[in-house]
Every structure is written in structure tokens, then in C-alpha cells.
Structure 1
Amino acid sequence: MTFKKIGGPLLGLALAGCMLLMLLHPEASLGAALRGLAIWWDVLFPSLFPFFVISEIMLGLGIVHLFGALLDPLMRPLFGIPGSGGFVAAMGYVSGYPVGAKLTAKLREQNLISRVEGERLVAFTTSSDPIFLLGAVSVGFFRDASLGLILALAHYGSGLIVGLLMSFHGRKEQRSPSQDPSITSSTAPSVPTKKGFRRIHGALLAMEEARRKDGRSFGELLKGAIQSSLKLIIVVGGLVVFFNVLMELLARAGILSSLFSMTGHLVSLVGGPPELAQALISGFFEVTIGARSAGEAAASIPLQFKVAAAAFILSWGGLSVHAQVASILNGTGLRYLPFLTARLIHAILASGLVLLLWNPVMDTGLSTAWVSLPASVAFTPSASGITASLALLSVLLTAALLASLLIPVFMAMIRWVRRS
């Protein structure tokens, strides 16, 4: 008997068990649902909804085509994706999960990327936003702002490594690399510095053409963006509430305690503190609860192991984030298995990087210098999250644009010197 034949009945039994537990523990279920709703309303809605709307409007205005033409020389050789993926990466890294998946699905719907390129893109653009990582986790949960640097290096650095590794994904399936419609072919100019200007001119023309094809007024764009974003943010909220209730029911049934014990044995086998099992299991289901548990773990546990557990949880994302991404990718043809594999690799790499970089970062004073930087103040919980994220987004996009312009100019200069 195959798994598909028994999967349905098993899922039905599991849901029936959840219903029974909800009837036995109505007050606990209601409390968990209210906590999940509070997380959605107080944190997720104000932090994600503006980015959902802004990204939708940018797509309608043709901004993606602009970045697609400019960033193609940077993104395609490194990550095996078109230049439009650079815009998705910047938005995904700044605004956090599941914005990267949402934008990837939009590019797929518009046939700007192939299925394999979409799977590569969503695999490494799904990450925690810096406001949550540096503010909530470092300052809020661990009460130590100096940990923000090593968490950021491990989380985002391993995310880029995952992107490089995912460039090998699907090479046999991809017969020929796709080309952004926004990128026009041209012969190499005789003067190296003209190539950058030609690329900018082509990118602006591509943006204008995409805007013309869309044809909607700004008012129509805004209305459509708000409607689409509201649908997605409600789905996100529903999944957060569901997994909060599910964890409460599993705790009431004694299943979580069994999982804690089993995971503790596994953690001790690899040389880690078994007391971190509760944080890891909590983070397996929901990233916020898991990161908080890692920060509040016993003081006897070495700090580097607690930070490594937090990095693992942030990079894994939790089943709640996985469900959000799966619901977004549904109907796009993008497979979930490559995303799941990338999350596991990202989590392992991030926790390993924390342990590897701990002494170089924490013992050399870099973490102390990080706290004294004025820029790090923007990521404390007292700051405006949206303002700080938009500032960081502008920095990332500017750096990516400069790199995309300098790389072809540098390569053209090399060819020009060789010819002369």
C-alpha cells in the first residue's frame, strides 16, 4: 500500500484527534488561538502588509523588468537565475518570509522565470527579516545586542551559500537558460564604459514596455495590490493561529514532552546540550516560539550553543512558514521538496557558522563595535520597523545596482586590454 493511499486516512485521524483534544481543552485552545492572533495583529500584519502592497505595485510599474535587465550579469552566473531574482532577493531578505515566495510566484505567473529557476530563487530568498533577527531575537529574547552581528552573519551568509549551492539544482532539467524578456542582446561595444550606459538605457526601455503592457492606472494598481495582499496576509494569520493551537494541543496530549525527550537524546549524540530540545522542537513548528525558547534556555547552557540553536530555528523557519510558502507556491508548478531541502541545508549551515565564527567574532571585539554603530540602533525594537527595513532595502538595491553595472564594465575593460 502506497503512502498516497494511507496518507488521507492518517490525516483524517490526526484531525479528528485534534478536534477531540479541542473539545477536552476548550480554554487552552482558545488561549492559544488568541496568542496566535495577537502575534499576527501586533507583529506580522504591520510588518508584512506594507511590503506586500509595495511589491505588488512595483510589479505593475515594471520595476522588476528594470532590475531584471540591470542585475542579470550578477545573478545568472552566481545563482543561475535571471536578473529579476535580484529584486526578489533584496525584498525577501529585508522583509522576511514569506515575501520572497510571494514575489517568486508572481514572476512565475508572468513567465519571467522557469520552474527550476523559481525553485532556486524561493530556496534562498526565504529568510528572517533583520528587524526580527536583530531586534526581537538578539535584544528581546537574548537581551544582548552584541549577538546581532554573529546571528546576521550566520543566517544571511548561509542563505547566500544555499543560493550558490541551489544553482546546481535542476541543471539536467533546464535544457537552455531562460532569458528575461527585459534583456536585449547587443554586441560588445568598442569602448568599455559605454556598456553600462547601454544596459541602463535598455533597462529603462524594458520598464516602459512592461508598464505599457500592464495598462492599469495607479489607482487600479493600488486597489489590486491591497486586495491581493489582504488575501495573503489573512492566510498567513490563519496558519499562525492554527500552529499555535496545534502546539498547545500536542502539549496537552503529552506528545511534545515525548518529542523533547527524543530530540534531547539526538542532540546529545552530536555533542550538543540536550536541554535545547524544547527550543528546537518548538522552532520546528513555529519560529517565534522556538527562538524565544532558545533565548530563555537554562543559564548553564553555553551561550554559543543557544545562539546556534536560534540560528538553526530562524533558518528552518518553522512548519508555519513552510505552510505559508506551500500555499503561495500552490498552482505555480514549483515543487515543495527543493524548498524543504534548502531549509534543512540552510539551518545546518547557519548553526555551524555560529559555532565556527563564535571565537573570531565575539573574542576580537567585533560584536562590541557592532553595538556602538549608529546603524545598529535602527534595528532595536524601539525603532520603526518599516522605516528601518525600507532604509536597508534601498542600501541593498543600490549596492546590487552598482555591482551589476561595474561587473560588465570591468569585463569589457579586460577584453579591451587583451585586444590592444
Structure 2
Amino acid sequence: MQAYKMSPVRRQQAMTLLLGAGSLLLVAAIVASPDDVFQASLQGLTIWWKIVFPAMLPFLMLSEMLLAFGAVHALGHLLQPVMQRWFRLPGASAWVLVLGMSSGFPAGARAARQLEERGELTSRQSSILGTASHFCNPLSILIVIGTGFIGKPEIGYILIAVHVLSGLLSAWIMARWVLHKPVTAAASASTVIPQPGWLEAMHSARLGDGRSFGRLLGETVKNAVQSLLMTGGYMILFSVVILILMKYITPGAPAVLWPAIMEVHIGSYAFSQTDGTMLWQAAWISAILGAGGLCGWFQAVSMLKPADGGAVFGIGRLLHGGLAFAMLWLLWPPVQRWAASAEPALAFLTGSGTSGSMPVHPFTLWGQWEILLLPAGLMATCLSVLALASWLTRLLSRAASR
């Protein structure tokens, strides 16, 4: 008997019917529980307005300005060996990677899409770059999760380090799995020392943009705010969806199930409130940060608009989450010893040097200028590491050619 095969038109009609029925059920659940839905919406709005919006707005504006001024082209010229040999991507994508590591998603996906629209990346390369640059905001990991949820800022620093290292490793694996074409010796030699120089490339890109500073500043603010408004809408919507799933669909399921799947902040908070050991909590929170949740997945894919519908990006998120869980679990013994010795030095974040003290509310830490310097320090560190790796790669290439 021949198996029935649904036509593309029928498949689209079935998907339309499914989405329509799901939307109708969601509205009915909201009408049935207005008070609970309001509290869930308020929770998502609070996290977005007090943490995500002020942390990401400057970096989104800065990324568009750097693209317009040609700094991305100059940086790409200097870091081409690293991006081509490690991730099989053009050198201009180096800034996108650093931007994602320092400001969090979906800034990396948005910048990768801009490079694709400029013709500097293919659709497949844009998917890989979006996967490689999809990191959680380090300020949010330290203040909200490490200090506010767990009550131990030293764990927040460990989560940041594991998050970045596992993300780079997963991007390295994904680049070799998706981008099958290797970088040949001839191509590598021709791109390690590109022409013209970095200053000429920067000036050419600036002339190609052509916008005045006033116009650039206005459009930068508008685009950044629009992007963040979409992010806030996603966070509020998924807060409501999590509530409805827990209340009506799976009332007997573990309380951490849907928050972990849907949204990183709510999922991290749910695991921080469990009765498990610190290792168990930190490992699962690390996995949640790496996976990014469906909320982060939809945000990034809506900006990337990949031809494969986000399949490559989804596989990269699962790989990042699995590596982050395994890496923190394996490194926990030395991490625990370091955390015990570092706790007194980080007492200013919790107001006391004792581990049992009640942590300060994370939103009150925005007045401490030391915390605001963390993204800038991380960006400078990432740039320094990439620049050193680029110099070593060039040196090795010249030695091998002799």
C-alpha cells in the first residue's frame, strides 16, 4: 500500500489550522485566568525593562554605528585568519561575534543579518554566524542569575566563562559540520593578507554608507529601540505561555520544565529555587543559558530569516546547551574551590562576606559603576584574545610557507 503524502498546499493549510486553533485556545486561557496572566506579563515586563533594555540599547546602537563608520571592515581585516581558520567565515564577522559575546542575543543575529543584506555573507554563513554569536548578556548572567537568583556572584562569573567557552566550541563544531568546504592553502594565503589595508577598507566602507552623523544617530536609536521592543514583546508573551502551559496543559509536570524550555531568565530562576545541590542548579542553569530557550530561538530566527527555517540554528543551540552542561559538571571541583576563595573579595555584590546572607536585589546594583564596566571589560578581553590569535595564526602561516 502506497503511503499517503500530503501536498505542500495541504501542509500549509494544516499548519494554518493548527496555528489558528492554538491562538484561539491561548485567548480562551487568558480570559479564564486574567489575574494570573497579568502577573505573568508583569514579571516578563519587569525583567525586560530593568535588565534587558538598559543593558542592550547602547550595544545595539554601537554596533550599527561601527558598521556605518567602517570599523567592522577594519576589524575584519585584522581578524580574518581567526574567523576563516576557526569558523570558516569572512573576517568581517569577527565584530559580530564579539558583539554577541558582550551584549547578548539577539544583537548578534541582527548584525549577522545586516552583513548578509550587504552581500558580505551567504545565507548559510549567516546562520552559522548567528549561531556562533548567540550568547546571553553577561551583565544579566552576573547580576540577575548569579547575584539575584543564586545569591553567589562568583558562580555568575563561572557561568559566564563556561557559557562563552562552550559557545565558541559549539560554533567551531557547527562550522565544520555545515560549511563542508575547507579553507584551502591558496585561499588562506590570499586572504590572510588582504588588499587594501585595514584603513583603506574602513574608509571605503564609510564612503559607501554615506549617511551624515545626525541621520545615522537618529536611525541608530530608532532601529535599536524597535529591536528591543520586539524582544520585550517576546518575553512578555512567553511569560504568559509558560503560565498557561503549567496551569492547563501539564499541571502535574515539574515546575522547572516549561520555564527551562521557553525562556532563559524564568528557567534559571525556577532551577535556582529547587532543593538540589549547587552543582545540580549551576549545571542546569548553564545548559539553559546555552540553549537559549524558544524565546531566544524565535527572536534570533526572526532576524536571521534563514532559508532552512532555523534548523541549523536550533541544532547549534542544543549543542551549546549540552556542552555547557558537561563543561560545568566536569570543571566543578576546581570551580568550587575558586568560588570559596573568591567569595570574600566579591562581598560588595551581596552586602556581606557570608554565604548565608540575603543578596541585594539585582536591580539596585545598577548604581554601582563597577558593574557597568563589565561589558566593556569583556569586549576588550575578547578583542585582545582574538587579536593575539590572529597574530599567532599569521606568524604560523608565514613560518609554514618558508
Q: What is the TM-score with the length of structure 1 in the denominator?
A: 0.82
Separation (CA, whole Å) in 2 of partners of 1:212 and 1:20:
54
The CA deviation string for residues 23-69 of structure 1, in whole angstroms up to 9 with x for no partner, is 11122222222222222211111111111111111110011101111
Pick the aligned partner of 2:387 from 401, 407, 415.
Answer: 401
Verify the 8 A CA contact 1:66 1:203 in the aligned structure 2.
yes
Q: Structure 1 residues 64, 371: closer, same or farther in 2, change over 3 A? A: farther
Verify the 8 A CA contact 2:51 2:140 in the aligned structure 1.
no
Question: Which residue is 1:313 aligned to?
Answer: 288
Question: Which residue is 1:411 aligned to?
Answer: 397
Deviation at 1:16, TM superposition (A): 0.5
Deviation at 1:368, TM superposition (A): 3.5
Verify the 8 A CA contact 1:150 1:358 in the aligned structure 2.
no
Q: Structure 1 residues 285, 50: closer, same or farther in 2, change over 3 A? A: same
Question: Which residue is 2:277 aligned to?
Answer: 302
Separation (CA, whole Å) in 1 of partners of 2:195 and 2:141:
35
- The 5 Å alignment of 1:75-86 reads 75-86=83-94
Q: Structure 1 residues 210, 325: closer, same or farther in 2, change over 3 A? A: same
Question: Which residue is 1:204 aligned to?
Answer: 199
- The 5 Å alignment of 1:24-173 reads 24-172=32-180
Q: Structure 1 residues 23, 148: closer, same or farther in 2, change over 3 A? A: closer
Using the TM superposition, name which of 12-21 and 141-150 deviates more: 141-150
Q: What is the TM-score with the length of structure 2 in the denominator?
A: 0.85
Using the TM superposition, name which of 62-71 and 392-401 deviates more: 392-401
What amino acid is the match of 2:311?
A: L
Question: Which residue is 1:357 aligned to?
Answer: 331
What amino acid is the match of 1:295?
A: S
Question: Which residue is 1:348 aligned to?
Answer: 322
The CA deviation string for residues 58-85 of structure 1, in whole angstroms up to 9 with x for no partner, is 1100111011111111111111111122
Q: Structure 1 residues 280, 315: closer, same or farther in 2, change over 3 A? A: farther
Verify the 8 A CA contact 1:149 1:370 in the aligned structure 2.
no
Verify the 8 A CA contact 2:88 2:179 in the aligned structure 1.
no
Question: Which residue is 1:225 aligned to?
Answer: 220
- The 5 Å alignment of 1:186-205 reads 202-205=197-200
What amino acid is the match of 1:358?
A: W
Question: Which residue is 1:191 aligned to?
Answer: none
Separation (CA, whole Å) in 2 of partners of 1:356 and 1:200:
45
Deviation at 1:400, TM superposition (A): 1.7
What amino acid is the match of 1:307?
A: A
Pick the aligned partner of 1:293 from 266, 270, 291.
Answer: 270
The CA deviation string for residues 348-383 of structure 1, in whole angstroms up to 9 with x for no partner, is 111111211112332xx3334454668x97xx9524
Q: Structure 1 residues 42, 256: closer, same or farther in 2, change over 3 A? A: farther
Verify the 8 A CA contact 1:116 1:169 in the aligned structure 2.
no
Please, which runs of 5 or more residues in structure 1 have no aligned partner? 187-194, 261-276
Verify the 8 A CA contact 1:69 1:202 in the aligned structure 2.
yes
What amino acid is the match of 2:255?
A: Q
Q: Structure 1 residues 93, 357: closer, same or farther in 2, change over 3 A? A: same
What amino acid is the match of 1:229?
A: A
Question: Which residue is 1:392 aligned to?
Answer: 378
Separation (CA, whole Å) in 1 of partners of 2:260 and 2:33:
23
Using the TM superposition, name which of 44-53 and 28-37 deviates more: 28-37
Question: Which residue is 1:327 aligned to?
Answer: 302
Deviation at 1:343, TM superposition (A): 0.6
The CA deviation string for residues 377-406 of structure 1, in whole angstroms up to 9 with x for no partner, is 7xx952445432123212221332233234
Deviation at 1:414, TM superposition (A): 5.1
Please, which runs of 5 or more residues in structure 2 have no aligned partner? 350-359
The runs of at least 4 aligned residues of structure 1 exceeding 6 Å deviation read 198-201
Separation (CA, whole Å) in 1 of partners of 2:157 and 2:44:
29
Verify the 8 A CA contact 1:184 1:202 in the aligned structure 2.
no
> Secondary structure at the residue paired with 2:389?
helix
- Paired positions, count: 378
